[in-house]
Chain A
Amino acid sequence: MQEDNPTIVIRVAGEGGEGTITLGDLLTRVAAYSGLEVYSFRTYPAEIRGGQVMYQTRLGLSRVMTEGDEANVLVAMNRQAWLDERGDLCQGAALIYEATVDIADDTHSHYPVPAEAIAQSLDWPIGKNFALLGALTWFFRFDPDTAETLVRQRMQRHAESLEKNLAAMQRGYAYARETYPEPFPFNLAAPGKPAERILLSGADAMALGALAAGCTFYAGYPITPATPLMESMARYLPAFDGTLVQVEDEIAAINMAIGASFAGRRAMTATSGPGLSLMVEGLGLASMAEIPLVVVNVQRAGPSTGLPTKTSQGDLFLALYGGHGDAPRFVLAPDSVKDCYFQTIYAFSLAERFQMPVIVLSDQAMAARMETTPLPGTPWNGPLERITPTVEELKGDYRRYAYTENGVSPMSHPGVPGGMYLAESLEHDEHGYPDQTPQTHQRMMQKRANKVEAARQMLADWRMTSRRWGDRDAPFGIMGWGSTRGAVREATQRLQSYGIPVEAIYPHTLLPMPDSAIADFISSKRAILVPELNFSGQFGRMIEHRYYHQLDELNVHIYQLKKEQGVPLKVREIVDAAVSMINNERQQWEAKHGEMARIFEVVAGLAHNTGGRRD
């Protein structure tokens, strides 16, 4: 626990199908409704039933930025949960567990709860998780009425089991209150009435962003972990006069969305890695025929079927470069649940204005988690319109793919008299008719590429393109992308608390890269750590390649922290990698100059005691 923002990391673990995720989810909601800030993470096997699942939630008094590293509280539904998680607990953790589980341990405090017996006594064997929820409500001194209200909300469609579950919860609460009357070691006094906040999941954030941007068409195929986004769209879209089709495969999904966009709708699809692989040919079509399209990719660990329910950032290269023959597109990388909402709106803005496909990269951890976040204000009043031909242009010789300075040409839609044209996947002339002459091909390639450059110039003035924080012009930097931002924010705070000057930057548009912002960041650095969740370090490689000359000229070193385990980065891993980077720089400096530079002094003192440090 850090002093400035005390938090509690709670890990709930058990067998899939015995209500472990439901328990974690409800606990998170009860905490949020009790005035605490929350940030959750879930991991589960690909099977619906069977296999261990884990739900981690972190509670805080002010904004929580990650799910936390080691747990303060372990809620173990079975013995396996203890065996799996015992190595990942902080010192003096509290163990709350099903009383029949045998846990031989004397380093933590124990709080057995006879959840199974309570469930049996109600003749309701599946009520074990609710008995534990009742006990947790007592331990954290939440209001039992709040908990009951939230359970009623959640279970309203299961009237027959609602009362049994509520009874189990009440007995669990009563048992814990009687047995453990003393204060629980981990507790946060809920603040008074906090500012108005919402409890938002990453999937919902993207769905609401799409609606805010005026999306009225969605085509998608079920795939873990992107399905919750489709389900949110299915629920909300009809209320906005929109249409959602669950299609036969991802190829149909992208082509159907392209068809709807061709007809004038703001259209999207969402998928995960294997689905994006199937959509690659369609991306090329949207790029070539210049049809606006938003594709959300909720990344999971690959390759092939890989680890369908586990998180990763391994699709960066696929998003940036996937496809044959230089097909320009945009790639955006939201870095928090709230940012998922805004980046989805920006994605539609870019797609519509530049008539191109836009890929938005989320991931399993960010899509599945819930975060308390302030209500987004007035979302977006920027331009979202496609340029359409004027009446004058339609009266004359309308050219759908007219050469223009920024590459964007007015787009007509079926139903508009005088605007008839062919949206063409073959190389084509300004009217859209096939034309394979060398001059036309070269010129049209340039026209489509110009749109990316025009966007890069336009975006240079936008705050949305990158986020930068820390000690301005510190010699040590961290550069990352996407959902790892929270962990990096916490890591930079911890490094600063050690006295290490550090600054971080997170670009939000990965294509086009905000080159001027990145160049400015690099110019003050000696060494930059690039942490990411993939095996080969795709982002780091992209940075090294793209900024090679500047890095080389200024002698700035890139250090990579690559992790591909299916789970998020821990704050400690980033801190350790940063300290080891700085030590490495120090040794290089000393070898060259024979003495230590002043900026390394702090790190030299830390070198021995940060390895494996647990905060």
Chain B
Amino acid sequence: MTESKPNDYKSDVKPIWCPGCGDYAVLTALMRAFAQLGTPREMIAIASGIGCSSRFPAFLNTYGIHGIHGRALPLATGTKLGRPELTVVAVGGDGDGFSIGGGHIPHAARRNVDITYIVMDNSIYGMTKGQPSPTSPEGIVSKAAPYGSQERPLNPVLLALAYDTSFVARCFSGKLKEMVNVLVEALQHPGFSLIQVLSPCVTFYNTYEHYREITQPLPDAHDPGDRLAAMALAMETATQYLGVFYRDTSRPLYSQRFEEVQTRAPKATLEDIFKRMIV
């Protein structure tokens, strides 16, 4: 394995993000994780949908596909199944992942497809300038909700656990070192991993101070093999725990299942199939 440096993974494109945006920390953390693992650049494919954080693939000089809103997971799944040796990462925001694309998460979890999904959750629609998102707190006031929003926020970690996602974690952009460690683990996890990163939007909903106050590492005693305990910790919202909530490495990989199906299917050529149709 060749020695890699984080900046080896950086492209020449300057991020469009506002100075201070939480997403810079995620970009840095992911490049550090790749460097730590020494993953060759050409073996990495990053898939994303639409939103500030979804512009991510352009800032890396790996392979990337910047698709349409909400569809990072189907794109990533197709890419992984198309070439199982690749390291495939899906990235995006809370609107892309939990609103328009919310229907894809349970199915990625069911399949346990071997991709790492990083959701940069700023609890606001940043690119469209500050509308409530599916993780915004109830009553948030914005131009699109001048009298306060009427909906309760989703709990992404609890949802992922309910879907039986085989690796579930939460990070915070203010805790870079911890995030690198979680991402290294997630990239190595055999199966579908979902990482919610609390990644504040400095322009429309600056939550840095708030998260510094309410986040803390998961209790040392927490066993990531215990899904019920993970759910109980996820349900604590006054304190937002950071770290790996849940990990199950016992499940077979999706691509392995297809290989198994291919070995079970009776081999046939096109000529064989046509011959069976002769009347």
Contact = CB atoms under 8 A, between A and B. Distances in A.
Interface of A: 29, 32-33, 196-200, 204, 208, 211-212, 217, 219, 236, 238-239, 241-243, 245, 247-249, 251-253, 255-265, 267, 281-282, 284-285, 289, 372, 375-376, 379, 413-426, 433-434
Contacts of B107: 247-248, 252
Contacts of B104: 248, 252
Contacts of A251: 70-71, 74
A420 B83 contact: no
B47 to A, nearest CB: 7
Interface in B99-125: 103-104, 106-107, 111
A423 B58 contact: no
Contacts of B106: 248
A199 B279 contact: yes
B68 A282 contact: yes
Contacts of B111: 245
Interface in B69-105: 70-71, 73-83, 85-86, 103-104
A198 B82 contact: no
A289 B274 contact: no
Interface of B: 11, 13, 40-45, 47, 50, 55, 57-58, 61-68, 70-71, 73-83, 85-86, 103-104, 106-107, 111, 258, 261-262, 264-268, 270, 273-274, 277-279
15 contacts: A200-B277, A217-B81, A238-B265, A243-B258, A252-B103, A252-B104, A259-B77, A259-B82, A260-B79, A262-B82, A263-B79, A285-B68, A414-B86, A420-B61, A422-B63
A234 to B, nearest CB: 10
A217 B78 contact: yes
Nearest to B268: A239
A251 B106 CA distance: 15
Contact of A265 (B71, B82, B103): B82
A239 B265 contact: yes
Contacts of A375: 274, 278
Contact of A422 (B40, B65, B78): B65
Given A247-B74, A284-B68, A434-B55, 9 more contacts: A32-B279, A252-B104, A255-B68, A259-B47, A259-B77, A289-B67, A422-B65, A423-B66, A424-B66
A414 B77 contact: no
B42 A415 contact: yes
Given A197-B278, A262-B79, A416 B42 contact: yes
A420 to B, nearest CB: 5
Q: Secondary structure of the A side of the interface?
A: mixed
A248 B103 contact: yes
B262 A414 contact: no
Nearest to B13: A433
A259 B268 contact: no
A256 B42 contact: no
Nearest to B72: A255
Given A248-B103, A259-B76, A33 B279 contact: yes
A426 B11 CA distance: 17
A256 B43 CA distance: 19
A353 to B, nearest CB: 19
B270 A211 contact: yes
A263 B274 contact: no
Contact of B71 (A208, A252, A289, A376): A252
A236 B77 contact: no
Contacts of A264: 82-83
